[in-house]
Chain A
């Protein structure tokens, strides 16, 4: 069999496809982070915990109320988003006048509390969540067996990322949002309710995390640790892409997923640090990140 850099092409293509799937999660999560940072200037460390919450809400809906995956895909982000709105109204909104650091510490503390509570009640091994019947089985692509569900994750995530990008960069509402972050006082003077817009943005950002949680539930165990396992990588993605850049978050998310996949072929032991190596290199060359603007 011919090889590419000593690796059979089958394995290589398989890994690239898997990288794309992981990248979908990175993109979806870093997108939410970027939206929140771009509009609120809050470094939302609770994002991983809210992603975990999304998965748990889906699991609880299924086990206590018998509500299946497709409804959970809609309901769980709403629940998580509503939780986010409450957080923003009661806690975060008090911190906008202060330094970034306070928002970071507050959300980090919230993440620890939420994760600790779930760990206490549900243990760490996680709860099984079945793949919905419609998406069971898989396709034999010749070079690998692609589970239908993973294919669906890639499609769903791409659609959501594109729609979000379009809404913020190309619609009137998005224009208001961007204007409000540049000059909130002036925008308010035009009669636009800026605090409401900020609350809605935070709610939307964390709802994206909740959605990613539901998408992840059938792949991983629904576990209290799932958020903290992922969040550090996602932060690296956001930093590499440029804090607050939506396009940067999405492209870097997919890109790093692919890169991680390649690392797993050539040198698996390094697969969980390659993202951070890239981060260090990028920050040395472009301190604002690949798509970021110097502030």
Chain B
């Protein structure tokens, strides 16, 4: 009996050993990249097909192959529904052998996908989702948060506006995980800088008419109306704020807490001018960014948002880590990614914290007036660089329980 048990244990040990020996390879003989985002709804322009194009550009740059094996890119629409997002990612990993999931805007969906990828030990490169919880209480050893998060946005726009004299705030918040977190993080920064929060109203996601919420914001008498929403919701609320004369009177100021280049493009400078915003990327900052962005524009007809540029950068870094590790095994690659600095057109001397937060410089920008803009896509004036260590929470502050 004992002999049998021992033999069994030995066999089991052998099996584990041989499984480990096989790790020096690419699983399924292909590196499969799954881009999962909103391809038809209110966040489709800031990520969508553009993110897929950006990822393909990263793949093309390494010749479409890694360690002699082909790289494949697939894409799907999560429709902003957490259940669809987690089901799709589960199917992708279990059935289709997807090795890495990219983008996933909408914090609600991203939190669901984070659970799946943690359980399956699959790499998750987050661009679109904003909530800082993804590297906080919901952190994962294989999850990477790349372009920005609610904390960085709050530090940038929140502090900047309080310093300019916008002391009292009222929030117009998208009523789901992302909006709540952005409101919480910004309120914390506003109070830290000596401001006050007089109130907030929660509007359902994808609201067509913000006028009544704006009216409540107006009657609150706050100096600053903080827009804790994104994409189509931000566009509509800014446009309608202008229609109702909120900003023209000069008594109240709008603070767009998360504004993408695609939003400004859709609004037009006439309406968007003078908005202050925080961004992780702007195409017209240096030669390297311009060159990459022009290449991207040739493929899509648009300049990239920070989500799309970030998708390129994270996939590039991921492929480099596979090369260095000699395998596409999730945890091994994740450890390698955290060892290597991030240096590409998106980020200079970026570093990745143990909780998966990619720390890089953020930028405070002001939207140009129509008279200042030299042409299409010439939209931002960079006011200040926010050093990465100031923008993002440290490992200790984040609340992530991973060993750091």
Expressed in whole angstroms, the Cα–Cα distance for A154 and B240 within the complex equals 17
Chain B 233-261 residues near chain A, CB threshold 8 A: 235-236, 239-240, 243-245
Is B203 part of the contact surface with A, judged by Cβ < 8 Å? yes
Is A131 part of the contact surface with B, judged by Cβ < 8 Å? yes
A139-163: CB near B (< 8 Å → 1, else 0) gives 0000011010110000000000000
Report the nearest B residue to A223, measured CB to CB: B232
Query: Would you call B266 and A128 a contact (CB within 8 A)?
Result: yes
Q: A124-B45, A272-B204 are in contact. Are A261 and B245 (CB under 8 A)?
A: no
Min distance, Cβ B231 to any Cβ of chain A, angstroms? 7
Is A8 part of the contact surface with B, judged by Cβ < 8 Å? yes
Query: Would you call B245 and A147 a contact (CB within 8 A)?
Result: yes
Report the nearest A residue to B262, measured CB to CB: A125
Is B3 part of the contact surface with A, judged by Cβ < 8 Å? no
Chain A 19-37 residues near chain B, CB threshold 8 A: 19, 21-22
Report the nearest B residue to A128, measured CB to CB: B268
Q: A147-B243, A223-B232 are in contact. Are A124 and B219 (CB under 8 A)?
A: no
Min distance, Cβ B50 to any Cβ of chain A, angstroms? 10
CB neighbours of B292 from chain A (8 A): none
CB neighbours of B212 from chain A (8 A): 14-15, 18-19, 261, 264-265, 271
Report the nearest B residue to A146, measured CB to CB: B244
CB neighbours of A166 from chain B (8 A): none
Min distance, Cβ B159 to any Cβ of chain A, angstroms? 28
Q: A15-B215, A145-B245 are in contact. Are A126 and B209 (CB under 8 A)?
A: no
Min distance, Cβ B397 to any Cβ of chain A, angstroms? 31
Expressed in whole angstroms, the Cα–Cα distance for A127 and B268 within the complex equals 9
Query: Would you call B266 and A226 a contact (CB within 8 A)?
Result: no
Q: A11-B215, A18-B215 are in contact. Are A125 and B208 (CB under 8 A)?
A: no
Expressed in whole angstroms, the Cα–Cα distance for A268 and B207 within the complex equals 11
Is B285 part of the contact surface with A, judged by Cβ < 8 Å? no
Q: A219-B243, A220-B208 are in contact. Are A269 and B271 (CB under 8 A)?
A: no
Query: Would you call B263 and A125 a contact (CB within 8 A)?
Result: yes
Q: A138-B244, A144-B215, A221-B235 are in contact. Are A268 and B42 (CB under 8 A)?
A: no
Chain B: residues with Cβ within 8 Å of the partner, total of 39
Query: Would you call B232 and A124 a contact (CB within 8 A)?
Result: yes
CB neighbours of B92 from chain A (8 A): none
Query: Would you call B175 and A269 a contact (CB within 8 A)?
Result: yes
Is B40 part of the contact surface with A, judged by Cβ < 8 Å? yes
Query: Would you call B243 and A131 a contact (CB within 8 A)?
Result: yes
Min distance, Cβ B358 to any Cβ of chain A, angstroms? 26
Is B25 part of the contact surface with A, judged by Cβ < 8 Å? no
Query: Would you call B266 and A225 a contact (CB within 8 A)?
Result: no
Q: A10-B219, A11-B216, A138-B245 are in contact. Are A125 and B265 (CB under 8 A)?
A: yes
CB neighbours of B48 from chain A (8 A): 124
Is A286 part of the contact surface with B, judged by Cβ < 8 Å? no
Is A82 part of the contact surface with B, judged by Cβ < 8 Å? no
CB neighbours of A126 from chain B (8 A): 232, 235, 266
Chain A 106-120 residues near chain B, CB threshold 8 A: 119
Name, among A19, A124, A149, A264, the residue most crowded by chain B CB atoms within 10 Å (CB to CB).
A124
Query: Would you call A147 and B244 a contact (CB within 8 A)?
Result: yes
Is B402 part of the contact surface with A, judged by Cβ < 8 Å? no
B200-211: CB near A (< 8 Å → 1, else 0) gives 011110111101
Expressed in whole angstroms, the Cα–Cα distance for A164 and B267 within the complex equals 35
CB neighbours of A219 from chain B (8 A): 209, 240, 243
Query: Which one of B219, B240, B263 lies within 8 Å of A11 (CB-CB)?
Result: B219
Expressed in whole angstroms, the Cα–Cα distance for A268 and B262 within the complex equals 28
Report the nearest A residue to B208, measured CB to CB: A229
Query: Would you call A230 and B208 a contact (CB within 8 A)?
Result: yes
Is A123 part of the contact surface with B, judged by Cβ < 8 Å? yes
CB neighbours of A225 from chain B (8 A): 41-42, 232
Expressed in whole angstroms, the Cα–Cα distance for A229 and B239 within the complex equals 18
Expressed in whole angstroms, the Cα–Cα distance for A126 and B175 within the complex equals 22
A272-293: CB near B (< 8 Å → 1, else 0) gives 1000000000000000000000
Query: Would you call A125 and B235 a contact (CB within 8 A)?
Result: yes
Q: A138-B244, A230-B208 are in contact. Are A124 and B267 (CB under 8 A)?
A: no
A194-220: CB near B (< 8 Å → 1, else 0) gives 000000000000000000000000011
Query: Which one of B207, B208, B215, B243 lies within 8 Å of A226 (CB-CB)?
Result: B208
B26-67: CB near A (< 8 Å → 1, else 0) gives 000000000000001110110010000000000000000000
CB neighbours of A137 from chain B (8 A): 245
Query: Would you call B40 and A119 a contact (CB within 8 A)?
Result: yes
Is B377 part of the contact surface with A, judged by Cβ < 8 Å? no
CB neighbours of A18 from chain B (8 A): 209, 211-212, 215
Expressed in whole angstroms, the Cα–Cα distance for A231 and B341 within the complex equals 50
Query: Which one of A22, A125, A145 lies within 8 Å of B45 (CB-CB)?
Result: A125
Query: Which one of B41, B207, B244, B263 lies within 8 Å of A272 (CB-CB)?
Result: B207
Expressed in whole angstroms, the Cα–Cα distance for A79 and B40 within the complex equals 26
Q: A123-B44, A123-B45, A220-B208 are in contact. Are A128 and B239 (CB under 8 A)?
A: yes
* 6 new A-B contacts at CB < 8 Å, known A126-B266, A128-B239, A269-B204: A11-B219, A124-B40, A220-B209, A221-B235, A225-B42, A268-B204
4 cross-chain pairs, A with B, having the tightest CB-CB distances, nearest first: A125-B266, A264-B212, A125-B45, A124-B44
Residue ranges of B at the interface with A (Cβ–Cβ < 8 Å): 40-42, 44-45, 48, 175, 201-204, 206-209, 211-213, 215-216, 218-219, 231-232, 235-236, 239-240, 243-245, 262-263, 265-268, 270-271
A selection of 29 A-B contacts at a CB cut-off of 8 Å is A8-B219, A11-B219, A15-B215, A123-B44, A123-B262, A123-B266, A124-B41, A124-B45, A124-B232, A125-B45, A125-B231, A125-B235, A125-B263, A125-B266, A126-B232, A128-B266, A128-B270, A138-B244, A138-B245, A147-B244, A219-B243, A220-B209, A225-B42, A229-B208, A264-B212, A264-B216, A268-B204, A271-B203, A271-B212
